[in-house]
A and B are shown apart, each in its own frame.
Chain A
Amino acid sequence: MKNQIKKTKRYFDTESQDSALNTKPEDQKVEVYNIKITPNLLKANKFKSNKNNVFKKPTHNNDKIKYKGKAPIDKSKLEVHSRGEGIGKSVKHPLHAAKLRKKEKKVNYAQDQAARAEILLTEDHGALEVDEDSKTTAISQKIIAENVDITAASKIFELNLDFGPYRAKYSRNGRHLLLGSNKGHLAAFDWVTKKLHFEINVMESIHDISWLHVETMLAAAQKEWLYIYDNTGTEIHCVKKIDKILRMEFLPYHFLLAAVNEFGFMTWLDISMGEIVGHYNNRLGRTSVMTQNPYNATLCLGNSKGVVSLWSPSVKDPLAKILCHKTPLTAIAVDNRGMYMATSGVDRSMKIWDIRNLDGPVQDYRLRSAPVYLEFSQKDMLAVGLDDVVEIYNNCCSQTTEKPYLRHRMGKTINNFKFCPYEDVLGIGTRSGFTSILVPGSGEPNFDALESNPFQTKKQRKEAEVKALLDKIPPELITLNPFDITEVDVPSMQEQMEAKKKLLYLKPKKMDFTPRNKKKLKGKSFIARKKIIKDVARKEFIEQAKEAKKILDLPEAQVAKKPSFGVLDRFVSNPKPKK
């Protein structure tokens, strides 16, 4: 075959033709037809040549296939969108199992699609990169301002205000800022455009402030009562049901304004109806350390004994308690996903806890001084306020970090600070005003416009308000695990058993002893009759109890044989059995 001219391979040549050519002896005359190749002809030929291998399974060779189908999805991305594992093989009935398999297929498809949709996200998250040998801690706001674009640089600013320590809070879409001072200065403004909504002095001390569900309404906890203002500074309500509030949190999905006051009374006020849905004393005394867990909308309250307790409006006892520090707590923060809680005590320690697990701190840090405030950002950076310095830690929950990611020295004491949602900004309320600094990589770059939209128009806001009101979650659903509602109601069986058990210890029914003939009400025969009726009732009750016991099949409480001391037995204490 050496002298055969090597045929150049054409895209329209199929393999079988090739092989046919190769096997032909050279000396055989090959008739050549002049055929004009058209696409139709090609198609027909292709079909003919493939006819033989119709029933052959195509053997996949990954190297040769040009298009391998859909791009694979990153496992970590899939994990993010996972709604938990499937039920698997625990369902025995074939019909139900098939139905479940079908449903799980759909769920998996949705998960895939959600993970794939990440490619459509437009913005990149912020970052800070330096040489390998140097640290990011040394980078000051001045350097950052010089190295970012002008709009971002304008987010670094400082307000020098006169009325004493300020508290600052951002609205849920991160567009508006609310400042309230201890000496009564209350101001709200669009901090991006620096457009002032209103500025008043309420002539009373303000202890805490909070935006309500939209940026047209805000609440201020003043000296005595709770006041609600609109975005022009007009007082809409004065809520006198709640007094002397120390700290407030707004739960946006429940429309609840949660507050704790000087005497330890906790109050949840439904701001859509003006009703108080929960009001009780937490019996912890005065505490001003409160935060909400955004994952399940419970309140975290820290007290002077170092215990953090979780509260919901429907239960008058804490849902959970953890002893975090042996000294009074100074600050608590919970991250957005409800995974980690950071606490700090007067003993200068800061601990990170797995809030769903609650055994042992995940991390334990010792700081230079006791933190006055803690706050998690959307991307899980932790800001720690130490007197007049803010330190921001990155990745401090899952691993131990030595150096802070950023450090900012204020020169004035810090009152509180908040990360601005959907921005790389940390707003700090201080003793003499408000400071805004840039923290690259702290904010979520891609917002969901149907959840909270920084570029919301008035119409959209109104629409969203109505939608949010329709989806208002009832306060009874505030539990430690928000997915409780989708679980199968297993403990009800236990409750049934409890109910049955109670049957045993029922009070005997009230009996009517009056005979039909009223004349017989007095005398010996009446007493006898009374006795008979009582006896019958008792018998009936005993029978019932026996039956109930049989159903429950309760093992008789076995009394351990006491060691005998002979004559001295009478000195062994014999406590009354508890009922």
Chain B
Amino acid sequence: MSKLKIKVISRNPDDYLRATKRDIHKLPRNYDPSLHPLEAPREYVRAMNAVKLERVFAKPFIGNLDGHRDGVSSLGKHPNRLAVLASGAFDGEIRVWDLTIRKCTRNFIAHEGWVRALCYTPSGETFTSVGDDKTIKTWKSEALSPEDEEPVNTLLSMSVMSGITHHRTKPLFATCGEHCQLWEKTRNEPVKVFKWGVDSLHHVSFNQVEQNLLASCASDRSIILYDCRESGPLRKVVMELRSNALSWNPMEAFIFTVANEDYNLYTFDVRKLKQPVNIHMGHTSAVIDVDYAPTGREFVAGSYDKTVRIFESLKGNSRDVYHTKRMQRLTCVKWTLDNKYILSGSDEMNIRMWKARASEKLGVLKPRERTALNYSESLKEKFANHPQVKRIARHRHVPKHILNAQKEIRTIKEKNKRKEGNRRAHSKPGTVPFVPERQRHIVKEDE
């Protein structure tokens, strides 16, 4: 026993206990899997808890901006200040809001009749509004003196206008009404007028990336594309029902989404208008407005069925649905430029602020909080397809009228499918062709 060597585990408690009460506790880690048995079921349970907590914390409504004396008709986002919002109402009043304190900073009667549309200029110094009184008025963003309350510039048009949009860089803006008109700030007459045999257009929007491109929705169920450098319109696609609003994807310049009267939204590729890239279903009434998130991955839609729905741009079904008891028909929705909030204006004179991600915690996150959230996020992703997890993550409580409408729509769809199938079965093969859903809603494309 000359070379006997014995070593046993003998821990000094000082190495494992904190020295003083103010010290933090020592937490030695050992990542050896044999010390952490049952990894998979434990992770599954944690994923279940995470997804449940997500639903528990899903309280998207932040607050409302109250002050308008008639329904809100239009909203305008400030291009470089997150806290500023301008809104127009059906009684011709425009209000400017400070979103951080949720107070109205300024209000004035801008038009006789509705304020049809609002838009800020790219610099953010002024904003322009069009109204039912055939005028285009430009206002200062900030009113420091009583003179600033007066419009900077007033342009008179021959016809009623219903939409306005500003060019990203040039001092150009487009309005729509009877025709699509291009205006320059310094001139009293439109620079260009685009006509394509249409009685009226009700929405127009400039592409913010491919800056010379603009699109409008017409009352003859068509969507028309223009290039502001050319003399005539470019292309037109006619759908089964009319489109109410249009929004360009800010990240993919060739993609836009329209809100349609047939309860659906359609995402189009400019290069291939014959068939939409995607159909987004979920609303149970006409979709009134749509706006893209600045990331281009998601968009928000407001509908006549009194709900706001959030869609992922690549998916056909909505990710979330927001509703309150008091919110009436939506007239306009906007996604703020910090990708965190959604603003919705509705018939009953209120503008509502929502979180874009319903269960997100607002404010500064501590590092431990953040890692915990990241961990639960990745667990949710890992177990997303488990039936229990999926069921909880997908479940949304909707008002009864929506639920009933959904049921009705479902039965109608089933009925149509069955009927078509029967017709196909009882007619000569080939006479009732199979038309994919995406082609079904498009009537024609014109050049």
Which residues of A come within 8 Å of B, CB atoms? 80-81, 114, 117-118, 120-131, 134, 139, 143-144, 147-149, 151-152, 155, 253, 294-297, 336-338, 378, 422-424, 438, 440, 443-451, 453-455, 457, 460, 470-474, 477, 482-486
Q: Is B363 an interface residue (CB 8 A)?
A: no
B9 touches A424 (CB 8 A): yes
Q: B4 touches which one: A114, A129, A337 (CB < 8 A)?
A: A129
A448 touches B9 (CB 8 A): no
Who on chain B is nearest to A147 by CB? B6
- Chain B 1-33 interface mask (CB, 8 Å, partner A; 1/0): 111111111110101110000000111111111
Which residues in A have their C-beta under 8 angstroms from that of B29? 117, 120, 448-450
Smallest distance from the beta carbon of A422 to chain B beta carbons, Å?
A: 7
Contact-size category for B: 35 or more
Given contacts A123-B11, A337-B34, contact A473 B6 (CB under 8 A): no
Which residues in A have their C-beta under 8 angstroms from that of B4? 129-130, 139, 143, 147
A471 touches B7 (CB 8 A): no
**Given contact pairs A253-B42, A486-B382, a sample of 5 additional A-B residue pairs in the complex whose CB atoms are under 8 Å apart:** A81-B32, A253-B41, A471-B42, A482-B37, A482-B38
Q: How far is the CA of A152 from the CA of B7 in the complex (A)?
A: 10
B41 touches A473 (CB 8 A): yes
Q: How far is the CA of A117 from the CA of B31 in the complex (A)?
A: 8
Who on chain B is nearest to A335 by CB? B34
Who on chain B is nearest to A421 by CB? B35
Q: Is B235 an interface residue (CB 8 A)?
A: no
User: Chain A interface mostly helix, strand, loop or mixed?
Assistant: loop
A448 touches B26 (CB 8 A): no
B30 touches A253 (CB 8 A): no
Q: How far is the CA of A81 from the CA of B33 in the complex (A)?
A: 6
B27 touches A451 (CB 8 A): no
B42 touches A473 (CB 8 A): yes
Report 28 cross-chain contacts, Cβ distance below 8 Å, ordered by A residue.
A80-B32, A118-B31, A120-B29, A125-B9, A128-B5, A130-B3, A134-B1, A139-B4, A143-B6, A144-B8, A147-B6, A155-B8, A253-B37, A253-B38, A296-B38, A297-B38, A378-B34, A438-B8, A440-B8, A445-B9, A449-B29, A450-B29, A451-B36, A454-B16, A472-B45, A482-B39, A483-B40, A486-B43
Q: Count chain A CB atoms within 10 A of each CB in B2, B7, B27, B45 and give the residue with the most.
A: B7
Smallest distance from the beta carbon of A470 to chain B beta carbons, Å?
A: 6
Q: How far is the CA of A121 from the CA of B31 in the complex (A)?
A: 10
Which residues in B have their C-beta under 8 angstroms from that of A337? 34
B37 touches A455 (CB 8 A): no
Smallest distance from the beta carbon of B45 to chain A beta carbons, Å?
A: 5
In B43-93, the 8 Å CB interface with A consists of 43-46, 49
Which residues in B have their C-beta under 8 angstroms from that of A130? 1, 3-5
A424 touches B8 (CB 8 A): yes
Smallest distance from the beta carbon of B424 to chain A beta carbons, Å?
A: 19
Smallest distance from the beta carbon of A81 to chain B beta carbons, Å?
A: 7
Q: How far is the CA of A155 from the CA of B46 in the complex (A)?
A: 39
A129 touches B3 (CB 8 A): yes
Which residues in B have their C-beta under 8 angstroms from that of A129? 3-6
Given contacts A449-B26, A472-B45, A482-B38, contact A126 B31 (CB under 8 A): no
Q: Which 9 A-B pairs have the closest CB atoms?
A: A129-B5, A449-B27, A152-B10, A424-B8, A126-B8, A455-B16, A477-B41, A448-B30, A446-B30
Given contacts A80-B33, A451-B36, contact A148 B41 (CB under 8 A): no
A446 touches B34 (CB 8 A): no
- Chain B 151-195 interface mask (CB, 8 Å, partner A; 1/0): 000000000000000000000000000000000000000000000
B44 touches A477 (CB 8 A): yes
Which residues in A have their C-beta under 8 angstroms from that of B17? 455
Q: B10 touches which one: A151, A338, A447, A455 (CB < 8 A)?
A: A151
Q: A447 touches which one: B5, B30, B42, B43 (CB < 8 A)?
A: B30
Which residues in B have their C-beta under 8 angstroms from that of A148? 6-8, 10
Q: How far is the CA of A130 from the CA of B29 in the complex (A)?
A: 32
Who on chain B is nearest to A438 by CB? B8
Q: How far is the CA of A485 from the CA of B47 in the complex (A)?
A: 12
